[in-house]
């Protein structure tokens, strides 16, 4: 059986490093947005859903920060509550550069 090859880097898919390279090149921003009834939402912006797995990142953030959230069509992750102090180390552990 022949292993599938990545069309971008040419390595077998098991060894593909394209997502890691994309993560290190991305500069993610974390902002707050106030919604109706004075509810605060933490936004993780500048994620490219075509280059990184936004769904798994959102799932990890929600479980680590113990909150609810969703993913917008443009790849923005919305997390319920103010998590600006705790989210930066989690994103950096996953290989993202965080800019404010």
pLDDT tens, residue order, the chain (100 aa): 567 887 777 778 777 767 666 666 678 999 999 999 999 999 999 888 877 889 999 999 999 999 999 999 999 999 999 999 999 999 988 888 888 6
Q: What is the pLDDT of residue 6?
A: 76
CATH match of 27-99 with 3.30.780.10:
yes
- Its pTM stands at 0.77
Q: What is the pLDDT of residue 80?
A: 96
User: Do residues 32 and 69 touch, judged by C-beta distance below 8 A?
Assistant: no
Domain map (residue ranges) of the chain: 27-99
17-23 contacts, C-beta under 8 A, 24 or more apart: 18/51, 19/51, 19/52, 19/53, 20/95, 22/48, 22/51, 22/52, 23/52, 23/94, 23/95, 23/96
């Amino acid at each position: 059986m022949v292993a599938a090859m990545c069309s971008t880097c040419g390595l077998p898919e098991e060894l593909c490093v394209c997502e890691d390279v994309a993560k290190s090149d991305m500069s993610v921003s974390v902002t707050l947005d106030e919604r109706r009834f004075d509810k605060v939402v933490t936004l993780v912006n500048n994620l490219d859903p075509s280059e990184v797995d936004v769904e798994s990142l959102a799932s990890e953030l929600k479980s680590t920060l113990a909150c609810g959230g969703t993913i917008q069509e443009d790849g923005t992750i919305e997390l319920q509550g103010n998590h600006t102090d705790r989210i930066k180390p989690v994103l950096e552990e996953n290989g993202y550069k965080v800019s404010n």
